[in-house]
Amino acid sequence: MEIKSIIKKYKYNKELSSFLKRLYPLLVDFFKDENLIYNALDNCEIIMCGDISEYARKDPSLYESLSLSDNIDLCGVYVSEPFVKYDKKSRTFKVDYIDRSILINGSDLYYDEVKAVLVHEICHLIKSYNHEFEVRNDVLTHRSGFLRTISIIKKEEGYCSDESSFSNGMGLEEGLNVYTEKLLCEKLGIYREVEDEYLIVYEMAKSLMMFPSENIQDIIIKAQIYHDNTLIDKKLGIGFYKLQDFSDEVYFKTFELINNASNYDEKNHIFKEMCEYVEANYKGIIESMHSHARKRSNINARDARSSNS
């Protein structure tokens, strides 16, 4: 599998091509599934669109799906639009095809910040690609790493409206995606500071990746790309879901508070208070994962003893 054929297919320019050639082996090394990475990149065009808002304005459905407004400053986004069809014969909805693209705010890769955003969005793509959408009756599930969004399909035209959507797992998923982005960027010699809005969930995700349990990083990455939590459940138990819910709460609260802050001091004060709130609650969640891991290792030790005797 050669990235060259993808570069040719989308007629990527020299700059983007050489960046992808450097990034590709690092992605394979990190996610360990070249097939999936290749197919994901092969089915998603990267568009350096200058200004995302202006670009999206030409396409009303894209503009709506990005929930853009004049005061939103989007650096990059992975867009994935499913086209759902009603099959009269089987009387079921089916995902006919998926239109995927990565939009980058910028026209070239001159700045490190733009490169980092591209890495971030490519990671979102890879963690979404495998069985990204699933339909059951009139319920459409979208998965992107640990983020899961459920929408109700409107019978008439297979259309899902935002009002009918429910999602969870975004806080932890964003934290983990920033963690992966940072790691890959370091290998590419790109430096980028984590933005304030992401800093707390990034720290939470980092401590999850460092959790002292065998192969934990591999287990987390596999759960993200294959959308299967079986091993996570075994290793971390209910504590993982407590962490996921808490990350959501912290992520949305931080975003809202920081965006509403009127000046730098206020922003700093909010941030400090938020960190204290997290510290007060976080220990209990981590302890719940530790106690699950301890119980499991006791069971394993008991099993080993009984099989030896």
Cβ 124 to Zn ion shortest distance, Å: 6
Beta-sheet pairing, 139-144 with 92-104: unpaired
Cβ 305 to Zn ion shortest distance, Å: 46
170 or 289: whose CB is closer to Zn ion? 170
Cβ 177 to Zn ion shortest distance, Å: 5
84 or 102: whose CB is closer to Zn ion? 102
Cβ 60 to Zn ion shortest distance, Å: 24
Residue 186, classified by CB atoms within 10 Å of its CB into exposed (0-12), middle (13-18) or buried (19+), is exposed
151 or 177: whose CB is closer to Zn ion? 177
Tell me which residue of 217, 258, 250, 260 sits closest to 235, measured CA to CA.
217
DSSP codes, 92-133: EEEEEEEEEEEEESSSSS-SHHHHHHHHHHHHHHHHHHTT-E
DSSP codes, 22-69: HHHHHHHHHH--HHHHHHHHHT-EEEE-SSHHHHHHTSHHHHHHTT--
Maximum pairwise Cα distance, the chain: 72
CA distance 34 to 92: 33
Task: Give the pair of three-digit tokens for residue 228.
Answer: 């299967």
201 or 293: whose CB is closer to Zn ion? 201
Cβ 13 to Zn ion shortest distance, Å: 24
Task: Give the pair of three-digit tokens for residue 27.
Answer: 């992605």
171 or 239: whose CB is closer to Zn ion? 171
177 or 288: whose CB is closer to Zn ion? 177
105 or 288: whose CB is closer to Zn ion? 105
Cβ 295 to Zn ion shortest distance, Å: 34
Cβ 107 to Zn ion shortest distance, Å: 21
- Sequence length of the chain is 309
- Residues of the shown chain interacting with Zn ion in the complex, contacts defined by CB under 5 A: 177
CA distance 50 to 104: 7
Paired with 144 in beta bridges are 147
